């Protein structure tokens, strides 16, 4: 009986790690390769002109990209309440508009909206499927 106990204990010691390794699987997110910023007009800045304590000054095409991401990912559970189009986008001061008049109409993107943009853009680059789309609501 003592030998039977030793055999059972040995089998148990071998089977527990094997069974536990089969029951779980670590999901590794896709690695995102950072690339150079895209062009916005003749500037290679992706439409992000400058950042400051109030947020970022961005171009009209940046706001369009932000809204496209909001349509795709704005209703994700991470964002409660869901993000509305142009949420966090406001007019810049006349001085800032004049300072960047070569870029067309520019806007102020709040710090919170910029953080949300970065998160949603990473999801897009990862190929994440949205839980729900704002267009399906």
Render pLDDT for 55-88 as a digit per residue (tens, 0 to 9): 999 999 999 999 999 999 999 999 999 999 999 9
**Edge-to-edge strand list for the sheet holding 106-109:** 48-52, 55-59, 106-109, 89-91
pTM to 2 decimals?
A: 0.71
Q: Give the three-class secondary structure for 42.
A: coil
pLDDT for the residue numbered 17: 61
pLDDT for the residue numbered 12: 63
Q: How confident is the model at residue 34 (pLDDT cuts 50, 70, 90)?
A: low
pLDDT for the residue numbered 44: 84
pLDDT for the residue numbered 15: 66
Over residues 95-113, the pLDDT tens digits come to 999 999 999 999 999 999 9
43 vs 62: CA distance, rounded Å: 12
97 vs 92: CA distance, rounded Å: 6
Average pLDDT score, the chain: 84
Indicate the domain borders of the chain. 53-136
């Amino acid at each position: 009986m003592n030998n039977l106990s030793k055999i059972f204990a040995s089998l148990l010691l071998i089977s527990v790690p094997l069974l536990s390794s089969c029951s779980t699987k670590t999901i590794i997110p896709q690695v995102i390769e950072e690339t150079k910023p895209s062009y916005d007009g003749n500037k290679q800045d992706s439409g992000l002109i400058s950042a400051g304590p109030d947020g970022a000054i961005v171009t009209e095409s940046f706001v369009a990209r932000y809204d496209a991401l909001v349509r795709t990912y704005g209703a994700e559970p991470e964002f409660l309440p869901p993000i509305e189009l142009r949420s966090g986008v406001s007019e810049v001061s006349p001085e800032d508009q004049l300072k960047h008049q070569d870029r067309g109409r520019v806007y102020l993107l709040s710090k919170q909206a910029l953080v949300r943009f970065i998160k949603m853009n990473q999801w897009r680059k990862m190929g994440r499927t949205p839980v729900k789309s704002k267009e399906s609501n």
